[in-house]
Structure 1
Amino acid sequence: MSYAETLEQVGRRASEAKQLAVHVSRGLNDLRRGKKSGLSGRDRFVRHAVLRALATGRHGVSYEDVWRERYRERAATGPATMTAPTWAAELAAVDVGEYLAEGRTPLALSRLAALGRTISLAGISTLRIPYRPPLDTGGGWVAEGSPIPVDSLDFGEVVLSPRKAATISIFSAELKKRATPDIEMLVDSALRTDIAAIVDAALVDDQPASALRPAGLRYNVTPVTASTATDPLAAMRSDLSRLAGEIVAGGGTSPVYLVNPTQMTSFAFLPSFAYPVIDTPAIDPGTVVAVDGPAFIAGNGAAVVDASKDAILHEDTAPAPIVSGTPATASPTRSLWQTDTLAVRVILETSWGIPAGRVAWMEAVKW
């Protein structure tokens, strides 16, 4: 690569970064004014990944160039810019929360977060959110001339620290030969499936928090005994009532039930059920988790989407560093260039938390 070509690439990237900054600034102003236009969060996220993938390996071609090739309108119009809605403005990987909440299989985390509180993790290392413990109330009825009770105002706290969920999905080079809608469908399905497998599985399990991940909702929570009634409908009513009672006793107000899709069908026999129900395959059949929805706190951080056709990958669920020498540390490895394949990488920052006593669960239900 010549010196002139290098300067040209640096100049192009600097220009794209400047235009992207302008777009982000205008987008923030629109949000402050309550405006929102253009594509949905799902479409923006997937389209950004597609453009990254299609531009990979094409010398001198940016993903903005691919945008013009693939998505521009055929009618007479102005040139694409990073600030024009539905044009290159949609290249930014924004609205990650919307992406996870939309589509045929929205994440359980995003659906639960919609019923609670969502905060930004941008620039945050550790965030402490106070809450009132259950039954810690003060005040009361006071007779004329009598002193008013004094509340000590003791608080508990939920601690959120950003954690990184990441996935790499591999596609054959045939991906580039498909029509644009097919590419978007494939990328959307692959990324959503991979991310859901990581995030939702951790959300509903019983593992403690670590430097890698947040604590699962069932961590340090003793399961409630399921009903032994032989009538499935009677057992279901008893189980749901017991779980709700645990949430209320812990200071909660509005339970949300998380179940496996096999249990979800049973709710059709409870007409006008008063509380939200979220189904996810991340929960084992027969297990039901109840969460105080308004008390649940979710954190959204940065998102990065990259693509490559030249990297070397260790294809393993617990990958090791790739080094040269004998013996090799990582095996088996894949050369994307040698196998004519493409890898799309997504990195998300997220976290969640809930006050103590606001989660209850049971297993081996009879319905």
Structure 2
Amino acid sequence: MTYTLERVARQASEAKELAVHTSRALRDLKRGTKSGLTGRDRFVRHAVLRALATGRPGITYEDVYREVYRERAATGPAMTTMPTWAAELAAVDVGEFLADGVQPLALSRLAAFGRQVSLDGLGSLKIPYRPPGDDVGGWVGEGAPIPVDSLDFGTISISPRKAAAVSTFTNELRKRATADIETLLETALRTDIASVVDTALVDDQPGSALRPAGLRFNVAAVTASTATDPLVAMRADLSKLAGEIMAGGGTMPVFLVNPVQMTSFLFMPNVVYPVIDSAAVPAGMVIAVDGPGFISGNGTAVIDASKDAVLHEDTAPAPIAAGGTAASPTRSLWQTDSIGVRAILDVAWGIPAGRAAWVEGVKW
């Protein structure tokens, strides 16, 4: 009986605190103030909590949250919908994580110029677009009939593809300040995911069940200018790429370049079209994409951690054991007192035919 009364009293107390939190959240919304952390911070903090809770029996990442980020005084119940409590634990703002920070992904910066869709719960999605040269209408005189033509649409099909990365750290990570842990994890996750995603974005490989097609797939390179003056060559190359985009029905070319070529834009401050720099673009190459025609999507992420896993440390990892053959070299996180943090996210992109162009071997 006493136990039941205590439980009822605790539930009543939690309900009261929940009402207080809800009232404060509604007040903040009414005032237009922003509660909680940014999506990037939530994403990173979720990874930090997973890492710090790993290998501690009976300790959840909610417990670590209270230890590290909150005072030990009484707090409201852990709810992923509550600001400044457990909302930070829900790693849902993948797009904001990829688009924000010191080194945003090229995919996220390009996506800002086009159409972005959510991939949550989708197996595939068809996006319509207007092919070039399909305009209707015209000038007509008084009483004259208006020209009529069919409205033909093309479609782009995009399907979620899984990008994943594993970063490992020694257990000394636990001994560092929380801010340092967040910085280390953010840098590691962003670097790993960027290597996977942006490299595929700018390559010439076809789409498959594993990945989307690269922007240069099935697109022939235009010939680079042979002008000896770098600025003259640069103007010629950019004009040619822009012309390819316009001829394909595009309206606004966006240039993707290597940081080496990005420095040349300092001498052309009046470039009217957006420029995105990424180390994933090979030096000497420039890719042009119709910004409004670019379609992209991302879904929620899965963040988890382990100190007991065994990893095949290779750029093309194999199953640890398959058909009696063991992968090599392997690493035991338990034996090396290390932590592995894994990030898995859904991404997809597509572009109508004719709205991407590229050139290599530029002279600037």
Q: Same fold (TM over 0.5)?
A: yes
Which residue in 2 is equivalent to 1:356? 353
What's the secondary structure of 2:40's corresponding residue?
A: helix
Which residue in 2 is equivalent to 1:221? 219
8 A Cα contact 2:199 2:281, kept in partner: yes
Which residue in 1 is equivalent to 2:109? 111
| Partner Cα distance (1:162, 1:294) in 2 | 20
Query: What is the aligned-residue RMSD (CA, Å)?
Result: 2.2
| Partner Cα distance (1:34, 1:126) in 2 | 36
Change (3 A) 1:225 1:348: same
| Partner Cα distance (2:131, 2:66) in 1 | 56
Which residue in 2 is equivalent to 1:173? 171
8 A Cα contact 2:301 2:345, kept in partner: yes
8 A Cα contact 1:68 1:80, kept in partner: no
Q: Which amino acid aligns with 2:243?
A: G
Matched, 1:331 2:328: yes
- Within a 5 Å distance, the mapping from 1:294-309 to structure 2 comes to 294-309=292-307
How many residues align? The count is: 338
8 A Cα contact 2:91 2:300, kept in partner: no
How high is the TM-score relative to the length of structure 2?
A: 0.88
After superposition, the C-alpha distances for 1:196-241 in whole angstroms (9 at most, x for unaligned) are 0000000000011001000000111111111111110111111111
- Within a 5 Å distance, the mapping from 1:1-367 to structure 2 comes to 36-73=34-71, 78-79=75-76, 81-82=78-79, 83-323=81-321, 327-367=324-364
Displacement of 1:323 in angstroms is 2.8
Q: Which amino acid aligns with 2:107?
A: L
Residue range with higher mean Cα deviation, 36-45 or 102-111? 36-45
Q: Which amino acid aligns with 2:178?
A: T
| Partner Cα distance (2:273, 2:151) in 1 | 30
Structure 1: any 5+ residue segments left out of the alignment?
A: 1-22
8 A Cα contact 2:168 2:340, kept in partner: yes
How high is the TM-score relative to the length of structure 1?
A: 0.87
| Partner Cα distance (2:34, 2:209) in 1 | 36
Residue range with higher mean Cα deviation, 227-236 or 310-319? 310-319
What's the secondary structure of 2:50's corresponding residue?
A: helix
Displacement of 1:147 in angstroms is 2.8
After superposition, the C-alpha distances for 1:24-58 in whole angstroms (9 at most, x for unaligned) are xxx9xx99x99853211111100000000000110
After superposition, the C-alpha distances for 1:243-277 in whole angstroms (9 at most, x for unaligned) are 11111111111111000000001111112321110
Which residue in 1 is equivalent to 2:3? none
Displacement of 1:145 in angstroms is 3.6
| Partner Cα distance (2:37, 2:272) in 1 | 33
Displacement of 1:79 in angstroms is 4.3
| Partner Cα distance (1:274, 1:145) in 2 | 43
8 A Cα contact 2:55 2:306, kept in partner: yes
After superposition, the C-alpha distances for 1:322-366 in whole angstroms (9 at most, x for unaligned) are 2388x4332222221111111000001000001111111101111
Residue range with higher mean Cα deviation, 203-212 or 85-94? 85-94
| Partner Cα distance (1:337, 1:80) in 2 | 33
8 A Cα contact 1:52 1:63, kept in partner: yes
Identity %: 73
Which residue in 1 is equivalent to 2:4? none
8 A Cα contact 1:257 1:278, kept in partner: yes
Change (3 A) 1:124 1:202: same
Displacement of 1:73 in angstroms is 4.5
Structure 2: any 5+ residue segments left out of the alignment?
A: 1-20
| Partner Cα distance (1:174, 1:78) in 2 | 30
